[in-house]
Amino acid sequence: MTATTLDRLPRRASELQLLVVAVLLAMAAYAAVSLAHDERVDGAVLKYGAGLAVLFGLAHLAVRRLAPAADPVLLPLAAALNGLGLAMVRRLDLAAMDTARARGVDAPSALAPRQLLWTAVGTALFVAVLALVRDHRTLDRYRYTAMAAGLALLLLPALPVIGTEINGARIWIRVGSLQFQPAEVAKLCLIVFLASYLVAKREVLSLASRRVAGLNVPRARDLGPVLLAWGASLLVLVREKDLGSSLLFFGLFVVMLYIATERTSWLLIGLGLFSAGTLVAYTLFGHVRERVETWLHPFADAADNGFQLTQALFGMATGGIIGTGLGRGRPDAVPEAETDFIFASLGEELGLVGVVAVLAVFTLIVARGVRVGLGVRDDFGKLLAGGLAFAVALQVFVVVGGVTRLIPLTGVTLPFVSYGGSSLVANYALIALLLRVSDAGRVREASPVVPTGAELTGEMTQVLGR
């Protein structure tokens, strides 16, 4: 066990150091915001810093205790994004207050304290996931529970009474005064289900096939689940008008299918179904056509449908390379600046330099997530980690691509940065799952108890040599 002990402590120490950097970064951003607004640093920066330090400190202690060999970078990366997002939400609060004062109306309630509260809930869930899921393989047993929960959550907003339509998308449920976007949690449930289901069926899905035109085409009956997923995501698209989630789920499904089977034919079938689905949606539904139209010609309708996108582009262009500086731009000119469009707010005030850094952090999260998948021994763990990592990548691509007009705009949140409880909480759970799998991979690869193959020995040497 010497390898494990040697390995464990530096990892957790690095995590702690990186977390300190993340909190300092968050405080610096918060201080810059208050400095730009009031020409002095608000004392609240200490309160926020202390709050974050306590939350991340507890999360760190939980990792130390519950997943001591886990990846040391993922939590600090998430914390840094969370802190930066918090500063930006605070910055937009100040702008909203100023606007309200200028118009002589009551200021809307501040979002930053709520976001801090959601951070607390998120880290609590993070700890809970680590505590409850002591071995990720136990999740494998809840295959159909996860599926049922995922589908239910996904389709919940489509129901009458609790389903609520906001800004044209029916992706919210409302219970009392609480609003929740269940798709974010559904994402995790469905990744768990898919990882479990696909690992169980991978033999069948990858081997039972016929060759047609040089391609291995699966048997018709094996197409069933694929078509089911396709149907579900179309339903989400049509009934809830949630293009983002629809795209996300289907993409995730196809990619996980590919990882499980290593068959390119699945990718092509997925791509074909996706194209057919979008084509049908484009012809049948006005709101889809409208999105595409806005994407192609945002400036033709800059005062109306294209307003949000054009203002976001103007904002980012005004920010240029180094940005206007935190608190010194006008990100509030963009509707939804604190949620789906927070990336444009960052682009305006932190410039190209800032958003490149933010994208780099996401790239690192995805890269570390993939490494977790590569490092773990069991197939379920591999597919779970790969799915979680790709979910982050795809979500970032969909929202950032949409905001910067690379692809049509679909409303999804930027993980950890956007304002919103559901997103924040679900993504902390996602990181917890990745850490759980990572810890398993580390413990097993470093442990000499089960050295069964040459490959393992090789990896062990690698670890020790570090």
Token look-up 């607004």 returns 37
Torsions phi, psi for 218 (to 5 deg): -65, 160
Q: Is 272 in the site for another protein (CB under 8 A)?
A: no
Q: Is 102 in the site for another protein (CB under 8 A)?
A: yes
Contact 460, 445 (CB under 8 A): yes
Contact 164, 118 (CB under 8 A): no
Nearer to another protein, 256 or 273 (CB): 256
Helices (H), 178-242: 183-207, 224-240
Nearer to another protein, 241 or 371 (CB): 371
Q: Is 105 in the site for another protein (CB under 8 A)?
A: no
Q: Is 396 in the site for another protein (CB under 8 A)?
A: yes
- Rounded-to-integer distance, Cα 232 and Cα 154, Å: 9
* Nearest distance from C-beta of residue 333 to another protein, angstroms: 6
Q: Is 454 in the site for another protein (CB under 8 A)?
A: no
Q: Is 389 in the site for another protein (CB under 8 A)?
A: yes
Q: Is 213 in the site for another protein (CB under 8 A)?
A: no
Burial class (CB in 10 A: 0-12, 13-18, 19+), 24: middle
Nearer to another protein, 4 or 404 (CB): 404
Q: Is 259 in the site for another protein (CB under 8 A)?
A: yes
Q: Which of residues 342-371 bind another protein (CB under 8 A)?
A: 347, 351-352, 355-356, 359, 362-363, 366-367, 370
Q: Is 232 in the site for another protein (CB under 8 A)?
A: no
* Nearest distance from C-beta of residue 153 to another protein, angstroms: 25
- Which residues, other chains included, contact 430 with Cβ-Cβ below 8 Å and sequence gap of 6+? 188, 388, 391, 392, 415
Stretch that binds another protein, among 52-60, 230-238, 391-399, 432-440 (CB under 8 A): 391-399
Q: Which amino acid is at 464?
A: L
| Residue among 186, 144, 179 at smallest CA distance from 163 | 179
Nearer to another protein, 151 or 195 (CB): 195
Tokens of 263: 């068959």
Q: Is 83 in the site for another protein (CB under 8 A)?
A: no
Stretch that binds another protein, among 167-175, 284-292, 325-333, 436-444 (CB under 8 A): 325-333
Q: What DSSP element (H or E) covers 177? A: none
- Which residues, other chains included, contact 47 with Cβ-Cβ below 8 Å and sequence gap of 6+? none
Q: Is 319 in the site for another protein (CB under 8 A)?
A: yes
Q: Is 401 in the site for another protein (CB under 8 A)?
A: yes
Give the 3-state secondary structure of residue 339: coil
Q: Is 400 in the site for another protein (CB under 8 A)?
A: yes
- Rounded-to-integer distance, Cα 424 and Cα 186, Å: 14
* Residue of the chain from 220, 321, 449, 454 that contacts another protein (CB under 8 A): 321
Burial class (CB in 10 A: 0-12, 13-18, 19+), 105: exposed
Q: Is 408 in the site for another protein (CB under 8 A)?
A: no
Q: Is 223 in the site for another protein (CB under 8 A)?
A: no
Contact 432, 58 (CB under 8 A): no
| Residue among 411, 397, 407, 269 at smallest CA distance from 340 | 411
Q: Which residues of the shown chain bind another protein in the complex (CB under 8 A)?
A: 98-99, 101-102, 255, 258-262, 299, 302-303, 310-311, 313-321, 329-330, 333, 347, 351-352, 355-356, 359, 362-363, 366-367, 370, 373-374, 379, 382-383, 386, 389-390, 393-394, 396-397, 400-401, 404-406
